[in-house]
Structure formats: structure tokens, C-alpha cells
Structure 1
């Protein structure tokens, strides 16, 4: 069973942040939230592990990630 990795693991965290900010540019709040939801669902599908996604949700709600 996989465990959620909360240690820094991105090869280009600044580049990812910039890409996310660019994707949100010129979107209103509702469109921005829809984009976030689509990104989350795409990444959750890529993981393919509901338990791991639930663990990530719980960690995010608790501010652990």
C-alpha cells in the first residue's frame, strides 16, 4: 500500500508554481476553482489510488502538506 509522500519531491517546484499561476491568469474566481478541480481530478486519476488521494485530502485539510 502506498503512503503519501509529503517530503519535497518536485524536480522544478518554481517552474510548477509559475505554470499554475500562468494557467490561472485572467480567470475569474469561479473559473479558477473549476480549473483547480479539473487539475485535481486529472492527477487523482493518474495516481489511480483512492486511498492515497483520501490521505492527501485529509493532510491538506489539516494543513500537513
Structure 2
């Protein structure tokens, strides 16, 4: 599975998306992420990030896709 590099945020219930600007789901996720980190210590914020990465990596599952994501995140050519 190739790594999705185009915006891909969306609601599972498409009726929530109707009438909203295209990128609202991405904005909503960003707000959820900020809210999740609010009032956390640096250590707890790092733990939250690590847990989130592992949960999402498990959801993706495909090691070639994960390797590509790691390379891109590290600033290396994928």
C-alpha cells in the first residue's frame, strides 16, 4: 500500500462532511490533537505521541508503507 501524501482526512459519516469546506476534517483532527495535549507535561505529551504513533502504525500495518513514512518524517528521500 503506497503512503497517502495527499490530504485524506474525512468523516466516516459523509453526512457530517456535506456543506463543509473540504479541509474541515483535517482542521478538526488538528484541534483534537491540540486538545489531547493541553495541560500535559512534556513527558506526558511525549508518551501520548508515542502511543498514538504505535496505534496508528498498527492500524496501517504494512511495513513498506511505515518505512516510507519514517523516511519522509526523518527528512530522507523515500
Same fold (TM over 0.5): yes
Runs of 4+ in 1 over 4 A off after TM superposition: none
Residue of structure 2 equivalent to 1:52: 65
RMSD: 1.5
Matched, 1:19 2:27: no
5+ long unaligned stretches in structure 2: 11-24
Matched, 1:5 2:1: no
Equivalent in 19, 29, 38 of residue 42 of structure 2 = 29
Determine which structure has the larger helix proportion and give its number: 1
5+ long unaligned stretches in structure 1: none
TM-score where L is the length of structure 1: 0.88
Aligned counterparts of 1:54 and 1:31: Cα–Cα separation in 2:
26
Residue of structure 1 equivalent to 2:74: 61
Aligned counterparts of 2:32 and 2:44: Cα–Cα separation in 1:
16
Highest relative contact order (Cα 8 Å, sep 6+), 1 or 2? 1
TM-score where L is the length of structure 2: 0.75
Aligned counterparts of 1:61 and 1:45: Cα–Cα separation in 2:
19
